[in-house]
Chain A
Amino acid sequence: NAGVTQTPKFQVLKTGQSMTLQCAQDMNHEYMSWYRQDPGMGLRLIHYSVGAGITDQGEVPNGYNVSRSTTEDFPLRLLSAAPSQTSVYFCASSYAAGQRTGNTIYFGEGSWLTVV
């Protein structure tokens, strides 16, 4: 049981490039989400998914795209990287969210992204 796995751990991109941050969980969790963490801003929700085929926007979705074709995977795509997207990105998952309470959320180790 690996938990929540994020790749890559570190990445440097040039402005305008695109890339995908991978997130996978092996706990059969329905709920998955992506956050970015910036100094002085805390963690902010980018996108989330309550199940395969269902995604929704969080607080800061612009410039990012997600899809959920399987229960296990929830990739985050940067369409055209900008320096403002330099951040640490965290993926998280739980059994469910909202309607069924009492579910611990598990986080990945993070992906450090620098856009130059």
Chain B
Amino acid sequence: KQEVTQIPAALSVPEGENLVLNCSFTDSAIYNLQWFRQDPGKGLTSLLLIQSSQREQTSGRLNASLDKSSGRSTLYIAASQPGDSATYLCAVMVGGKLIFGQGTELSVKP
């Protein structure tokens, strides 16, 4: 059974810091991996999608990497801002099912 784990569960950093969020999964037979952002009381917004054949994706200050062989993905956020404060979730697509980690709650202090 596929399990997705995110570490840390919560993170508080001062504005301007570069930071890394971690995601691990137990079964490497995935179609893709996605990183999402969720603001309080809101739905999820897709940030980056990495196909199983890719190693990384970049969008602005965000960079996500994927290492299928080790079952790991990282989300790198450069020069963090208070507006980045949210919960970040990773999810893997396996056979039509999207399996989520429990998320990392990020707080960026001004």
User: Interface residues, chain A, CB within 8 Å of chain B?
Assistant: 4, 31, 33, 35, 40-45, 48, 50, 56, 58-59, 90, 92, 97-99, 101-110
Known contacts A43-B89, A107-B43; is-contact A101 B52 (Cβ 8 Å): yes
Closest to A58 in B: B97
Q: List 5 A-B contacts (CB under 8 A).
A: A35-B100, A42-B102, A90-B44, A97-B31, A105-B34
User: Interface residues, chain B, CB within 8 Å of chain A?
Assistant: 31-32, 34, 36, 41-46, 49, 51-52, 89, 91, 93, 95-103
Known contacts A42-B101, A101-B52, A102-B51; is-contact A107 B44 (Cβ 8 Å): yes
CA distance A89 to B101 in the complex (A): 17
CA distance A48 to B32 in the complex (A): 17
Known contacts A43-B89, A43-B100, A97-B96; is-contact A104 B34 (Cβ 8 Å): yes
The answer, among B41, B46, B89, for a CB contact under 8 Å with A42, is B89
CA distance A44 to B102 in the complex (A): 10
The answer, among B42, B96, B102, for a CB contact under 8 Å with A31, is B96
State whether B46 touches A45 (Cβ < 8 A): no
Can you add 5 more A-B contacts, CB < 8 Å, to A4-B43, A50-B96?
Answer: A33-B98, A92-B98, A98-B96, A107-B44, A110-B42
CA distance A32 to B85 in the complex (A): 28
Question: B36 contacts which chain A residues (CB < 8 A)?
Answer: 107
The 7 A-B pairs of least Cβ separation, nearest first, read A107-B43, A42-B102, A107-B44, A43-B100, A98-B96, A97-B96, A109-B43
CA distance A110 to B100 in the complex (A): 16
State whether B42 touches A109 (Cβ < 8 A): yes
Known contacts A90-B44, A107-B45; is-contact A101 B98 (Cβ 8 Å): no
Closest to B43 in A: A107
B95 → chain A closest CB, angstroms: 6
Question: B52 contacts which chain A residues (CB < 8 A)?
Answer: 101
Closest to A45 in B: B97
CA distance A106 to B43 in the complex (A): 9
The answer, among B43, B49, B97, for a CB contact under 8 Å with A48, is B97
State whether B31 touches A101 (Cβ < 8 A): yes
